[in-house]
Structure 1
Amino acid sequence: MKLIDGKATAQTIREELKTEVAALKDRLGRAPGLAVVLVGEDPASQVYVRNKIKACEDTGIVSKAFRPEASVSQAELEDLVRRLNADPELDGILVQLPLPRGLDSQRILDLIDPAKDVDGFHPVSMGRLTLGLPGLRPCTPAGVMELLRRYDIPTKGKKAVVVGRSNIVGKPMALLLAQPGVDATVTLCHSRTRDLAAECRQADILVAAIGKANFITADMIKDGAVVIDVGMNRTEKGLAGDCDFHAMKDKVAAITPVPGGVGPMTIAMLMVNTLAACRRRMGLES
């Protein structure tokens, strides 16, 4: 069994980015800039934002944090996004989700300039992904693809099963796995899938993104499968993935742990997207 170490891979990517960011700063006279918007005091969101800001510090990207109160109005938050869109020194805008009740998240995401959409959630970004055009990709699926690439896991002609159809992970994950050059044959499963276990057992590559601790059991995977666990579930025993890691680790060819698997890659790819957005905005990249 090969352990796919996302933490170590993410650190390698950060080191690579340091050099690239420094070179770009020398060329432009400024470093890439990322705006991070955190509305309210949600504890989990605060941890995520803190980790993202630290990643910026590590790679040399300039981060600017904006922390409106949970009582902020929709109009006020939209005005903030418009100001960030207009700021020439900000190349990326990240609005931490979920937003407090009463705020329309989709309207906020739709308002972000697609050129600064480093989360890859804007309809333009998703449309470009669907059409196979260059663009900013959602960070978690992009992180999964980077792990597959760096661990030399073959995808051409392989049967890939994605469990979960969210706009953040499941749908873009399926699209990325089916892209020309990746060439997996993809099945997208969800809560209405008949005989989910049978679908999972056909997978050469299984990506679990459903948000239920240990939902994918060892008898749901075939011998020698590659298992990518996107889940991050808080349990009485600590963090757990969507897959029963300990029960299946001796059955699989490769697997990501939780924590230390896909999670660190999400933040690393946010840094990659911010650098790419800066280059494109400055006319240095298509």
Structure 2
Amino acid sequence: MTLLYGKPVAEEVTAKIKKLIESTGITPGLAVILVGENNASHLYVKLKEKAAQDIGIKFEKFLFNSTVKEKELLDLINILNDRRDINGIIVQLPLPKELNAKGVISQIDPRKDVDGFHFVTMKNFLDGYKKECPVFPRAVVELLYSSKENINGKKGIVLVNSDIFGKIMKQALLNEGVKADYLLFKNIDDNKEKIKEAEIVVTVCGVPNLIKPEMVNDDAIIIDGGISYLDGNVVGDVERISVESKVKFLSPVPGGVGPVTVATLLARVAEVAERELEKN
């Protein structure tokens, strides 16, 4: 069994970004909107900020308390949409339940939607525009290729909480030649044979110990994208100790897909900046 750590993959991605920035002379700009006091969200934003600064991407952070009015966020996004020095805008999720997350994200200019959560971005990707692949699926694909396995033709299953994310993740795998499908969390118990047959399992449910050794194929590649807390520790969806001794490859939590997701986000920002340079 081999653990698929994200750090080496992330370093490869960021090295390419550095070369792009040096060769073009661009200074990509990323704006991050953070609402509330969610400790995990603040940690994720700090990680993004450090990674951006390390490779020469300008990083602007906008902090709001949880009582902020939605209009204030929408007004800020409109300003950021018009700023030529900002190439990417992200709203750190989750937002407080009083705010309409879809409405806030839909205010972002789709050209600056570097996370890939805007409905226009998702529709474009599902319609065949591969370059519009949202950040998380793109990170999963990068991590799969780091296994050096030929994934073309393999059976894949994605375990998710929402149909739209399942469709996006499925399409990302189909684009790489994987025979992919997805299951909603609520349907897992009735479809365990599909998981057992899969050679690639991507799980993003946020349920500790969801994936147990008897559920998976001995030759499986498992990408664990679940994030939750158990006894004060960050854990994924996989019952790690028992599963890692069985399967062929497993991405750990923490340290697996997370660093690659940050790197691919910054790659998107740099790519948008490069496109703007080419237009001008």
The 3-state SS of whatever aligns with 2:266 is: helix
Which one of 100, 125, 142 corresponds to residue 146 of structure 1?
Answer: 142
- Structure 1 runs not aligned, ≥5 long: none
The answer as to whether partners of 2:147 and 2:249 remain within 8 angstroms in 1 is: no
Provide the rounded CA distance (Å) in 2 between the counterparts of 1:223 and 1:230. 20
Q: Does 1:213 align with 2:205?
A: no
Shift of 1:99: 1.3
Asked if 2 retains the 8 angstrom alpha-carbon contact of 1:39 and 1:68, the reply is yes
Task: Tell me by how many angstroms 1:284 deviates.
Answer: 6.2
Q: Distance in 1 between matches of 2:187 and 2:241?
A: 27
What is residue 6 of structure 2 aligned with on the other side? 6
- Give me the TM-score of the superposition, normalised by structure 1: 0.92
Corresponding position of 2:217: 222
Flag structure 2 segments of 5+ consecutive residues without an equivalent.
none
TM-score (norm. length: structure 2): 0.94
- Which structure carries more helix by proportion? 2
Correspondence 1:241-280 to 2 at 5 A: 241-280=236-275
Q: Deviations over 1:69-115 (max 9, x none)?
A: 32221111111000000001100001111112321111111110011
Cα distance in 1 for residues equivalent to 2:269 and 2:162: 23
Q: 1:15 — aligned with what?
A: 15
1:122-164 CA distance string (max 9 Å, x none) = 1111011101114332211110101122332222211101011
Is the 8 Å Cα contact of residues 35 and 64 (structure 1) preserved in structure 2?
Answer: yes
Q: Trace 1:36-51 onto structure 2 (pairs within 5 A).
A: 36-51=32-47
Aligned partner of 1:170 among 153, 160, 166: 166
After superposition, residues 36-185 of structure 1 pair within 5 angstroms as 36-166=32-162, 169-179=165-175, 182-185=176-179
How far apart are the structure 2 equivalents of 1:40 and 1:15? 33
For structure 1, which segment, 74-83 or 143-152, has the greater mean C-alpha deviation from structure 2 after superposition?
143-152
Are the aligned partners of 1:118 and 1:274 in contact in 2 as well (CA < 8 Å)?
yes
Contact 1:170 1:209 in 2 (8 A): no
SS at match of 2:278: coil
How far the C-alpha of 1:282 sits from its partner, in A, is 2.7
After TM superposition, give the deviation of residue 169 of structure 1 in Å: 4.8
Paired positions, count: 279
SS in 1 for 2:171: helix
Change (3 A) 1:157 1:109: same
SS in 2 for 1:65: strand
Query: Which is worse superposed, 82-91 or 227-236?
Result: 227-236
Distance in 2 separating the partners of 1:172 and 1:247: 30
1:187 aligns with 2:198: no
| Maintained 8 Å contact 2:133/2:172 | no
Compute the RMSD of aligned alpha carbons: 1.8
